[in-house]
Amino acid sequence: MVVDCGDRIDLTTCKLLTNDQLGEITERSGDSCGSTFIDAEFIKYLRGILGDVPMDLLRDNGQMQYLVQQFCDYCKMPFTGDDQDFLYELDIEHTKRYIKDDNTRKTLEDDEWVIEINFETMKSIFEPVIRNILNLIKAQLDNAQETFSAMFLVGDFSESKYLQKSIKQEFSHRVFNILVPLQPTAAISRGAVIYGLPIKSNDLNNVGNSKSYTSFYTISS
């Protein structure tokens, strides 16, 4: 099984056939529950602290993306789910001009315009998205009715240590090898290039008639 973890999650289940072809044994499946939905949960969390009007103003003035990028760089990707002392202090002083509610402003001033994102907060942000991903994988495993030798996690979100850990904890009893290639983000584009290089123009007419499925992924160690 290949689990493509990007802005959405796409799953492909294949069996190795002769001539290095891959036969698809279940229909590909997926859902919109990838990396950007972690960002959406983070934005929802900030709305609960700052309020709707300030968040809308941040978005409309092009400053929301800065906060999301800070979260991605210092929280989303580094978070492993192992360190219960995890803490990131998000500096939001640049948002003060948008905060008009007196109570909210007083609270943030007392906190020196810093929002502390701790272990429990990170788990609550991740949990809805992780649960959806695990449900997708479980459904694909159940539908295949096959014994799986390996599961490969590719795409940029597959670099999340917490996602890797969650998938391995949930499915290691069903899939012995759950692996992440060295360059998971580039696996799809590299696979497409490698697949396309040897194809001659007169071969393209036969692709649609093929009963086998060629995967656009490369897995290297």
Q: What is the pLDDT of residue 75?
A: 97
Give the pLDDT of residue 22: 66
* Residue 168 to residue 160: CA distance in whole angstroms: 12
* pLDDT for position 210: 40
Please count the residues of the chain.
221
pLDDT of 86 higher than 80: yes
Q: In whole numbers, what is the pLDDT of the chain averaged over residues?
A: 85
| Residues 102-114, mean pLDDT to the nearest whole number | 97
Task: Judge whether residue 154 has pLDDT over 50.
Answer: yes
- What does the pLDDT read at residue 195? 44
| 30 — pLDDT class (breaks 50, 70, 90) | confident
182-192: pLDDT as tens digits: 776 655 554 44
Tokens of 101: 């509610």
The predicted pLDDT at position 46 comes to 98
Query: Which 3 state secondary structure label does DSSP give 145?
Result: coil
pLDDT at 16: 77
Would you say 13 and 144 are in contact if contact means Cβ atoms under 8 Å apart?
A: yes
Higher-confidence position of 19 and 107: 107
- Residue 158 in contact with residue 3, Cβ under 8 Å? yes
What pLDDT was estimated at residue 115? 98
Is the per-residue pLDDT at 207 higher than 50?
no
pLDDT surpassing 60 at residue 208:
no
23: confidence class by pLDDT, cuts 50, 70, 90: low
SS3 (DSSP) at 81: coil
Q: Is the dihedral of CA 65, 71, 128, 173 positive or negative?
A: positive
Q: What average pLDDT does the segment 38-65 reach?
A: 96
- 95, 58 Cβ separation under 8 angstroms: yes
118 bridge partner residues:
87
* Count of beta carbons in the 10 Å neighbourhood of residue 98: 18
Which residues, in sequence order, are CB contacts of 91 under 8 Å at separation 6+? 113, 114
- How much is the average pLDDT of 176-182? 91
Closest CA to 115 of 50, 166, 61: 50
State the Cα–Cα distance between residues 123 and 198, nearest whole angstrom. 45
| Residue 188: predicted pLDDT | 54
What percent of the chain clears pLDDT 90, i.e. is strictly above it? Answer: 67
pLDDT confidence bin for 24, thresholds 50/70/90:
low
Q: Is residue 200 pLDDT above 90, yes or no?
A: no
